[in-house]
Structure 1
Amino acid sequence: MKQKTNPLLSIHSYIVIAFIYLPVLMILIFSFNTSRISSKWEGFTFKWYGSLFSNRYVMDALMNSLTIAITSTIIATVLGTIAAIALRNALKKSKTVLGMLYLPIVVPDIIMGLSLLLLFSQFHFPLGKWTIIIAHVTFSISYVYVIVASRISGMGKQLEEAAQDLGASPWQTFRHITLPAIWPGVLAGAIMAFTLSIDDFMISFFVSGPNSTTLPIYIYGLVKRGISPEINALCTIMIFVSVGLILLAQWLQNKGNRGKKASTLPF
């Protein structure tokens, strides 16, 4: 017997979705507005996107964000993957370590940003790109670990044990068996780390220094002087890039969970 859905629940769901995404939709629409006044629609235009990419300050902030995001993603992906592999066989014995890996996910960004600022100040570490990179690596490792660990948890040890029985070294086993099996999870974790890094504002705001302004910090500075269509255009681009990367990470994670099992030992 087919169960009927309460129409009130459907209406409630649509209201919640509208409440979440209506402001995003307004930014997208007014990024094509001819008028410089965001509250008044006068016509359709692409000129704000052109002026945005010809703005030297925007390009500098974009390059800073990309440099920081790429560097922190590489470091966090390597460290997070190593942590997931290292704790694969010792989860029951390492509950404290496991809890500490999850801690950056639940700690509020403002607390993490302030604590990192105090840490850098105590060691007289000059604020700049490297302090932002260290901060982004700090919280990105946890997300990489969670994604890679979920992939590893669904992988059996039979192929690895068979490879070792056939004389494969630990490095050969990792290179030809373990890494190909967990690669979708590693790539999904890297994409998630990149997305979180390029979107981060709160932590970056605390630990940034001269010549290290990122796109979110630059947008915040523009908003304080008044919202312009250029801000809407910049936010629209960041929204599409972020959503695209998150969807790609989710697709890779799902593909990895349905991935083929290796049938041969390539050594």
Structure 2
Amino acid sequence: MARAAVAQRALGLHLALTYAFLYGPILVLMILSFNRAGLPTAWTGFSFDWYVTLAGSPEILAAALNTIVVAVVSTVIATTLGTLLALGVERRRQSNAVDALLFAPMIIPDIVLAIALLSFFTLLEVTLGLHSIILSHVVFNIAFVCAVVRTRLKHFDYAIIEASIDLGADRFTTFRRVTLPVIFPGVLAGALLAFTLSFDEFIIAFFTAGAGASSTTLPMRIYSMIRFGVTPEINAMATIIMLISFTLVFFSQRLNRGATVD
């Protein structure tokens, strides 16, 4: 019993140290975003001044709007295509080769995918801008949405589709009234994950964005600012992005967990 208690304490200490290593720097950044002084590391008092500064910056607000536009549009397109792709793949015989092709955008390094997309747009003589960032985000978001929706479909009873058709409903009505409501938690979880990935993404957006502020996203704006040093203003921006990301990922995981338990 004594050995078991010691082992339990050791595991608890290991877990605490792991969490401290992972989230300690993030917690420090969030605390310093409320620092009254302009120094990034010396605490001089609590203040919301830097968040007020962010709210009054036209450049940051424009970048935030671009980020939201890119994230929302790419999420809608990727969720639609990823859901349809998951439905099609799950009805076919399982193939490791097909799975490898579907999940390739998830495992390919971002820098490689960014260069490939930039080369593709250049080859087609496509003018770069927000539209090219959106299309690029759709490319890798489809794989994530497809993976999440397929998890839901693993527990899907296809007999209810046959029953709906036998009762006289056409395939579109069956999809709208039967299939989609059943898999909707997985679809919503995939959409939240896609939005989070698109909202945070920097490398691909940096390579596929056009010139000027009209296609500058928030992560790109942070990168341009941080080259001159870390300030509480940057800490405040990073804190907002992290809170949004953590919240969306949390709800995505909750929905996905509910999809696998049903």
Report the TM-score, using the length of structure 2 for normalisation.
0.94
Tell me if structure 2 keeps the 8 A contact 1:160–1:178.
yes
Provide the C-alpha distance between the structure 2 equivalents of 1:189 and 1:114, rounded to a whole number of angstroms. Answer: 26
Q: Could you tell me which residue of structure 1 aligns to residue 29 of structure 2?
A: 27
Greater displacement, 207-216 / 142-151: 207-216
Deviations 1:221-244 (A, max 9, x none): 110011111111111111111101
Alignment of 1:171-182 (within 5 A): 171-182=172-183
Q: Give the counterpart of 1:233 among 218, 233, 236.
A: 236
Partner residue of 1:36? 38
Structure with greater helix percent: 2
Report SS of the residue matched to 2:37. Answer: coil
Runs (5+) with no aligned partner, structure 1: 260-267
Q: CA RMSD in A?
A: 1.6
Q: Distance in 2 between matches of 1:254 and 1:244?
A: 15
Letter in 2 for 1:26: V
Kindly provide the CA deviation profile for residues 60-90 of structure 1, in whole angstroms up to 9, marking residues without a partner as x: 0001000000110000000000001111121
Alignment partners' CA distance in 1, 2:27 and 2:232: 14
**Which runs of 5 or more structure 2 residues have no equivalent in the other structure?**
none
Give the 5 Å matches for 1:33-112: 33-92=35-94, 94-112=95-113
> Once the two structures are superposed, what CA deviation does each residue of 1:75-133 show, in whole Å capped at 9, x if it has no partner?
000000000111112142x4433221100111111111111111111222111111101
Correspondence 1:157-236 to 2 at 5 A:
157-210=158-211, 211-236=214-239
Alignment partners' CA distance in 2, 1:95 and 1:16: 35
**Distance in 1 between residues matched to 2:100 and 2:261, nearest whole Å:** 28
Q: CA deviation at 1:258?
A: 4.3
SS in 1 for 2:152: helix
Please identify, of 208-217 and 158-167, the stretch whose mean Cα deviation from structure 2 is larger. 158-167
Question: For residue 155 of structure 1, what is the aligned residue in structure 2?
Answer: 156
Extract structure 1 runs of 4+ deviating beyond 4 A: 1-4
Name the CA distance, whole Å, in 2 between partners of 1:17 and 1:257.
Answer: 26
Task: Percent identity, please.
Answer: 40
The count of residues paired between Structure 1 and Structure 2 equals 258
For residues 105-124 of structure 1, the aligned pairs below 5 Å read 105-124=106-125
Partner secondary structure for residue 19 of structure 1: helix
**Contact 1:91/1:98, CA 8 A, preserved across alignment:** no
Whole-Å separation in 2 of the counterparts to 1:162 and 1:121: 50
- The residue identity in structure 2 corresponding to 1:45 is S
Distance in 2, matches of 1:141 and 1:22, equals: 33
Counterpart amino acid of residue 42 in structure 1: T
Write the distance in 2 (CA, Å) between the matches of 1:149 and 1:193: 15
Give the drift of 1:8.
Answer: 2.6
